[in-house]
């Protein structure tokens, strides 16, 4: 198994993205796009290695404002988030299309004309946007626990809102404890990860760089994203939509709406799956990504 060190790509979009590769460079290119506030290590290493063993050249990366990628400086107050949630016009430092442009620019840096793309949560929104704005760049699309941007689908359990909006305590231990609490709230009830796994991931995330202001900028980008439903109807790359029936962060209606919008999309709903990537579902996810990529070669 060939695994690169973490590398930094200066992009034409004006940010630097930190990324890492797994597998044979001659394998099928696969770009993994993480969600809100999530750095590359939220794609578990073992999962990336599994994908590489299935013939992919895998790239995972830190989105802007996460991990070791560029951290921006424009401040977003919680009052701005509330106004945006209520549909009022607010100033947005960047939006989901900017993340998609970063992904396309990273592909340029890698020398990839096109790639298979898989995204989770906000990463699914980015992957969908990449597919509709840069269709020639996407060989296949896998959208996991995500939504179309339409306000009437993919809603959050209202009980999560106070947790998401609460000020975050500073310090490593507070961050790790917060990771454990959040995993208990939104993780897959049928595939619970051991607490030590969550703690280790939280500690690794802290060491790589946690940017609370960046999380708020991510949240604003999600709240203000456009509805992609009509544009997804023109999406022609083979598409898989995966969603947990126990997802409290993005209701399964978001996944169903995504699959309904994309012609020929496969919808895979999973009992007792929440809003995470549990070890017990690695084979399901990896097999689905491989199956969808193979459709791009063999046709429907």
* Confidence at residue 161, expressed as pLDDT on a 0 to 100 scale: 82
Q: For residue 163, what pLDDT is reported?
A: 82
**CATH, domain range 7-298:** 3.40.50.1820
Query: Which residue numbers in the chain have pLDDT < 70?
Result: 298-300
CA distances (Å), origin 278, targets 191, 195, 285: 6, 12, 10
d(CA 207, CA 209): 5
Q: pLDDT tens digit string along 68-122?
A: 999 999 999 889 988 998 889 999 999 999 999 999 999 999 999 999 999 999 9
Segments making up each domain of the chain, as ranges: 7-298
> What pLDDT is attached to residue 299?
54
pLDDT at 82: 87
Residue 102, pLDDT score: 98
Q: What is the pLDDT of residue 198?
A: 97
Kindly report the pTM of this predicted structure.
0.96
Give every strand in the sheet of 239-244, ordered side by side: 7-10, 16-22, 56-61, 28-33, 115-120, 138-144, 239-244, 266-270
pLDDT of residue 289: 98
pLDDT the model gives residue 298 = 66
**What pLDDT score was predicted for residue 86?**
86
At 170 the pLDDT is 85
As a whole number of angstroms, the distance between CA 159 and CA 139 comes to 38
């Amino acid at each position: 198994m060939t695994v690169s060190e973490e590398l930094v790509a200066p992009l034409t979009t004006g940010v630097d993205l930190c990324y890492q590769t797994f597998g044979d460079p001659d394998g099928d290119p696969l770009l993994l796009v993480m969600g809100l506030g999530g750095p590359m290590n939220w794609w578990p290493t073992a999962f990336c290695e599994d994908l590489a063993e299935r013939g992919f050249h895998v790239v995972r990366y830190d989105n802007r404002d996460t991990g070791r990628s560029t951290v921006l400086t424009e401040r977003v107050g919680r009052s701005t988030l509330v106004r945006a949630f209520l549909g009022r016009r607010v100033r947005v430092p960047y939006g989901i299309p900017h993340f998609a442009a970063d992904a396309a620019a990273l592909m340029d840096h890698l020398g990839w004309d096109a790639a298979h793309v898989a995204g989770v949560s906000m990463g699914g929104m980015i992957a969908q946007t990449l597919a509709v704005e840069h269709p020639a760049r996407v060989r296949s699309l896998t959208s996991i626990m995500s939504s179309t941007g339409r306000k009437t689908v993919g809603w959050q359990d209202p009980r999560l809102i106070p947790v998401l909006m609460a000020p975050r305590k500073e310090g490593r231990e507070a961050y790790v404890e917060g990771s454990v609490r959040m995993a208990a709230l939104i993780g897959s009830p049928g595939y619970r990860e051991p607490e030590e796994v969550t703690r280790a991931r939280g500690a690794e995330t802290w060491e790589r760089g946690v940017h609370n202001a960046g999380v708020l900028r991510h949240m604003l980008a999600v709240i203000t994203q456009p509805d992609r439903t009509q544009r997804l109807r023109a999406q022609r790359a083979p598409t898989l939509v995966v969603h947990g029936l126990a997802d409290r962060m993005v209701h399964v209606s978001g996944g169903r709406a995504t699959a309904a919008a994309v012609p020929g999309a496969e919808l895979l709903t999973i009992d007792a799956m929440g809003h995470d990537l549990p070890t017990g579902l690695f084979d399901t996810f990896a097999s689905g990504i491989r199956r969808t990529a193979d459709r791009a070669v063999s046709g429907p």
